[in-house]
Amino acid sequence: MKKIAFFLFASIALFIWQLNAQITSFPYTEDFESGSMPTGWVKELPGSGNDVIVSDLRNHTSGGQYSVRFSSYHQSSDYNQYLFTDTIHVTSNYMEVSFWVKEYSTSESLQWGIAVGAQSSSSVSSWNDIQLSTSWQKITVQLTGYQGQTIFFAWHYYADYQYYVFLDDVKIDMLSDCPEPYDLSVNPVSANDVYLDWTSPVSQWEVEYDTTGFVQGTGTIFQVNSKPYLLSGLTPQQTYDYYVRSNCGNGIYSNWVGPYTWHQPYVNDYCSGAIDLPVNQGCSPTVVNDANAIHSGVGYPSCSDYYGGDLWYKITVPEDLDTLIVKTGYYPGNHSIYDTGMVIYTGDCDNLTPAYCNGDGNDPGDGMFSRIVLTNVHNGDEYYVRVFSESEDYGVFHLCAYAPNLRTKTLNTTDFSFHPNPSSNVIYWKANEDVEKVQITNLTGQVVIDVSNPKTNSLNIAKLNQGVYFLHVIVDGKEGTYKLIKE
């Protein structure tokens, strides 16, 4: 009878110990300051001389001493080490696990995962890589989808004879009733469109956006039921802010998170928005500014350094030519650059074939600018020109296409003239023949005014912003380009 009573007492005590060891109240924090592995935590080791221990070699906690150390120092063969928390009772979709990690040196490898059913690596359905650093960094994982389950949070350390990875300050906590979104991001897909994205355990959100610096409550607000969200109708080269908050239903919202600031691409940040580059008898520069250019998604050039910001232009050959020169060069500005790359493609934007590529030019006078010479080109041939900075220093340079033997004639001062310049409202011109076309472009080559066969000898430019533009004119088949200053 005494044996039975003792057995029952021991069984009940074991049950109570196991229940107390489980993680059932929140927030739960483990800083390893006891100097030993927490009760209920389990290691899975490969049987080598390496081990997962609580160590005083590194510590994240202010005033603390200990952290968990994964070690590969004592064994030079491939291995795997696993560590599992005690049982976690997930009572809500709004729970998260956070922890701090760092590596002793480079090339260490650590993953996190969630084990269901047992403290075993075979109970983890997928592992997630952690980008380690030699500085402490915080990792946060939301337990969305595990409500009502019991789980074990797990870490997997693997490498081949490196050093250590440290883990500290593990925290399991309930989020607010309506958790805030985090990790806001954008992915521009054109000059007018961008995908907005963020991380959140809920399925409805509210977004507000407008130009940078707007006061919340004055922007455009809309509901979002899926993400990433495609935001359209934006202005090229404009800088925007957006905020987002979770909508948890029944009028319950999280706090607003933001602003996230981004710059919309240029029209010609993509091949599909390529700006026409005229062919002249001499180099008549189009000004390029790649300060906010983004990667167009086309493959990296083979002949040149490339750092992710390119702009696109299109050449339509006006007549059969034995030589066509396309080059970049210096242009004075707020941030002039001296090192460019250039690729010229045939085909169309859906099927581009690189035909020419140049980093530094071919002539001594080119310096580190680009020059490509095309020979025996034909009337109507089309080429796409991709230009970019060859360093991470972005800014202003010029681009031109010219053919010294071009038969198309250039206007002179007796053929065409205009005034006033500078002008704030209307410009007037005098021409000895009918004007066939008047076009104004900005410094990036974007067409802002385009008039064919004007009926008067004047043009209203009042709507243009102040700055420098180029006036392109065709009179009786002759072409001319003039600098125009808008006051």
Q: Which two tokens stand for residue 130?
A: 């952690």
Residue 3 lies in a domain: no
The CATH number that applies at residue 343 is 2.60.120.380
Residue 462 lies in a domain: yes
Q: Quick check: is 4 in a domain?
A: no
Determine the 3-state secondary structure of 87 from DSSP: coil
Token digits for 123?
């109970």
Other Cβ atoms closer than 10 A to 174:
14
User: pLDDT category, 8, cuts 50, 70, 90?
Assistant: very low
Does residue 34 sit in the same domain as residue 105? yes
**Residue 166 DSSP SS3:** strand
Domain count, the chain: 4
User: Do 438 and 322 belong together in one domain?
Assistant: no
Number of helices followed by number of strands (H, E) in the chain:
1, 36
Instruction: Identify the band that residue 2 occupies on the pLDDT scale cut at 50, 70 and 90.
Output: very low
- The most confident of 10-14, 186-190, 334-338, 365-369, by mean pLDDT: 186-190
Please report whether residue 327 resides in a domain: yes
Q: Could you give the CA distance from residue 470 to residue 331 in angstroms, rounded to a whole number?
A: 14
Q: Do 27 and 150 belong together in one domain? A: yes
Report which DSSP code applies to 386.
Answer: E
Question: What is the distance between the alpha carbons of residues 462 and 219, in angstroms, rounded to a whole number?
Answer: 28
- pLDDT tens string 21-69: 588 788 899 999 999 999 999 999 876 667 899 999 999 988 899 999 9
Per-residue pLDDT reduced to its tens digit, 66-104: 999 988 766 555 568 999 999 999 887 778 899 999 988
Same domain, 367 and 451: no
Q: Are 204 and 252 in contact (CB under 8 A)?
A: no
Same domain for 168 and 187, yes or no, is no
Question: Which residues have a Cβ under 8 Å from the Cβ of 118 and sit 6 or more positions away?
Answer: 152
Give the domain CATH number at 188: 2.60.40.10
Using alpha carbons, list the distances in angstroms from residue 23 to 30, 38, 132, 155.
Answer: 11, 12, 27, 17
Query: Considering the domain boundaries, does residue 408 fall inside one?
Result: no
For 390-445, the pLDDT digits (tens) are: 877 788 899 999 998 887 667 777 788 999 999 999 999 999 888 999 999 887 77
Residue 481 CA to residue 483 CA, distance in Å, equals: 7
**Same domain (yes/no): 255, 311:** no
Q: What is the pTM for the complete model shown?
A: 0.51
Same domain, 198 and 151: no
- Choosing from 402, 435, 462, the residue where a domain stops is 402
For residue 359, what are its two tokens? 């980093």
Which CATH number do you get for residue 424?
2.60.40.1930
pLDDT of the residue at 10 = 39
Query: Parallel, antiparallel, or unpaired for β 310-316 and 239-246?
Result: unpaired
461 and 324 belong to one structural domain: no
256 and 193 in a common domain: yes
pLDDT score recorded for residue 289:
85
Q: Provide Rg for the chain, Cα atoms.
A: 33
Mean per-residue pLDDT, 230-248: 93
**Domain range spanning residue 469?**
416-486
Residue 203 and residue 59 share a domain? no
> In this structure, are 254 and 334 located in the same domain?
no
Residue matched to tokens 């934007």: 349
- Write out pLDDT tens, residues 113-132: 999 999 999 999 999 999 88
Residue where a domain terminates, one of 219, 244, 265: 265
pLDDT band at residue 11 under the 50/70/90 scheme: very low
